[in-house]
Amino acid sequence: MIIDFFRNQTFILFSVILLAGCSSGDEKSAPKNMGMPVSVMTIEAKDTPISIEYIAQTQSSHLVNIQARVAGFLEKQVYTEGEMVKRGQILFLMDEKPFQTQVDAAQAALKSREAALENARLNLARVKPLAEQNALSQKDLDDANSAFSTNEASVEEAKAQLATAMLNLSYCTITSPIDGITSAALQQDGTYLNVMDSKLTTVSAITPMWVNFSLSDNQMQMIQEQIKKGQLLIPKNSELVVKVIESTGNVFPYSGKITFTEPYFNAKTGTFLIRASVENPDGLLKANQYVRCRVEGAIRPKSILVPQRAIQQSAKGQFVWVVNKEHLAEMRPIVVGDWHEENWFVLEGLQPGEQVITDGTMKLYPGSPLNIT
């Protein structure tokens, strides 16, 4: 029994040693904790084209009020409301009879005065040689010259009256001064038109179309400051490209350029007006539509872009996690600029070559070890 006891004790001891050996081997073969698994990106500074979108409203580049220029009765509306018209196309006709009568009277007056002028000319032609021979007095010659000059001026006056009468007659035919689209007629056939009630319709050009948008005072100052600091480059002559985005989300096929910037601040709206001109040959854009316009062409030189998901907010502002020289997590305060696609421009806080942690930041703390995956 003593021998059996020692045999059992030896077996137990051997088993314990064997298990201990296995456990020691497992610990040596187990991987060490390499830190929090994270994904990183290496910061690069590069010139980045940018685009900015604004809410805008379209406006006809040439809107004309069609009005009667003489008082009288409206005889007929010739055009179809809402249709495209060409320059010189007839829109309305007024009753011409009173104005034709004035033309006839002016023509008759002109003929009468021309006859009087001819008579005065012949009389002067007779008097002049007789006066030179002292057959007539100087007074007779002066009277003949005066009569001729008076009748000559009377003829010019009659010509002017005839021209006015013919001009008024021409105003009875009301045409479109531009190519454009017409609006509804404001007066009905047979209406008497006068100076106080003479508007008939409007014609608005469809191409080019103006696209108006606004910048706030803060936005304008920020852009000017960034240009001054070299953080924003504008093309020469400020030739920025403007693309119109329709309400459907489609990009309008024709691009435009900024043609006007309001030099004065509008105190009522708190903005500066910016206007772009866009060709609209097919008339797809309508006046007074709300659209979005995308301004392209500016460049941010040597800019740094960081994904939005890598930027976090604290009580002291925005920050990112970076990999420091010891391969540990470091909290870095930053100053961000505009939004660009899915990234933010970082204006201050980061340098090219540094590594920013983009994923796996939820459990990080300053100095935490990292496992870059």
The CATH number for 154's domain is 1.10.287.470
Distance CA 223, CA 16 (A): 77
Residue 20 covered by a domain: no
Considering the domain architecture, whether residues 277 and 316 belong to the same structural domain is answered as no
Q: Find the mean pLDDT for residues 54-72.
A: 95
9 pLDDT higher than 70: no
Q: Find the mean pLDDT for residues 236-255.
A: 89
What does the DSSP assignment read for 26-88?
HHHHSPP---EEEEEEE---EEEEEEEEEEEEEEES-EEEEE-SS-EEEEEE-SPTT-EE-TT
334-357 pLDDT, tens digit each = 998 888 888 989 988 999 999 999
pTM of the entire structure?
Answer: 0.71
Identify the pLDDT of residue 21: 42
Domain with 324, as residue range(s), is: 36-46+304-372
Please state the domain count of the chain: 4
Tokens of 325: 């020289």
Considering the domain architecture, whether residues 181 and 76 belong to the same structural domain is answered as yes
Considering the domain architecture, whether residues 341 and 313 belong to the same structural domain is answered as yes
333 pLDDT higher than 90: yes
What does the DSSP assignment read for 3-26?
HHHHHHHHHHHHHHHHHHHHHHHH
11 pLDDT higher than 60: no
